[in-house]
């Protein structure tokens, strides 16, 4: 009989082969209002499921992220559900596609953030990040 711990071990395919390493940058949550206000004045990208605001900092090598939903999203239950979904999207996408030294604020949208299928919400986040980090056109 197999011990129960054996079922929980990840299947690595070939014996001794490790999964590919993913670059992980430490993430921290924004908590101060002033950080949210600074991000609101910087770049923003709207996609169907969310609004992404981002600003570059030069002082740290952390990814800092904040989440917010206004009362337009719904009652407290709806706002909290939308923020939980935004947190999961950020956990899945930002370690690989986010950049160190940036602040990101994810804003939930009415009826879109909580009702949109999760894989489409992740695609929205990836699209917004790629547009935010694309080289800017020179000003005339």
Instruction: Decide which of 10 and 103 is more confident.
Output: 103
Rounded to whole angstroms, the Cα distance separating 37 from 30 reads: 11
Residue 51 within a domain? yes
pLDDT at 61: 85
Residue 2 within a domain? no
Residue 31 within a domain? yes
Nearest-Å Rg of the Cα atoms of the chain is: 18
CATH number of the domain to which 74 belongs: 3.30.230.10
pTM: 0.79
The answer to whether residue 103 scores a pLDDT higher than 90 is yes
Residue 47 within a domain? yes
Structural domain including 85 reads 24-129
pLDDT at 26: 83
Binning pLDDT at 50, 70 and 90, where does residue 16 land?
low
pLDDT at 21: 52
Residue 41 within a domain? yes
Encode pLDDT of 67-87 as tens digits.
Answer: 999 999 999 999 999 999 999
Residue 5 within a domain? no
Residue 104's DSSP bridge partners are 54, 65
Contact 61, 129 (CB under 8 A): no
Number of domains forming the structure of the chain? 1
Beta strands in 17-133 (DSSP E): 27-29, 43-46, 50-56, 63-68, 102-108
Percent of the chain with pLDDT over 70: 83
In the predicted model, what is the mean pLDDT of the chain?
87
pLDDT at 59: 78
Encode pLDDT of 38-63 as tens digits.
Answer: 999 999 999 999 999 999 998 778 99
Residue 70 within a domain? yes
Residue 137 within a domain? no
Binning pLDDT at 50, 70 and 90, where does residue 25 land?
confident
């Amino acid at each position: 009989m197999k011990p129960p711990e054996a079922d929980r071990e990840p299947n690595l395919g070939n014996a001794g082969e490790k999964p590919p390493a993913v670059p992980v940058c430490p993430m921290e949550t924004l908590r101060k209002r002033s950080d949210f206000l600074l991000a609101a004045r910087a770049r923003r990208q709207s996609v169907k499921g969310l609004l992404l605001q981002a600003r570059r900092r030069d002082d740290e090598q952390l990814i800092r992220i904040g989440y917010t939903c206004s009362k337009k999203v719904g009652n407290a239950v709806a706002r909290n559900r939308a923020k939980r979904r935004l947190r999961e999207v950020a956990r899945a996408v930002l370690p690989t596609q986010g950049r160190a030294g940036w602040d990101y604020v994810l804003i939930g949208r009415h009826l879109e953030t909580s009702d949109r299928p999760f894989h489409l919400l992740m695609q929205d986040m990836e699209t917004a990040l790629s547009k935010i980090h694309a080289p800017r056109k020179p000003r005339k």
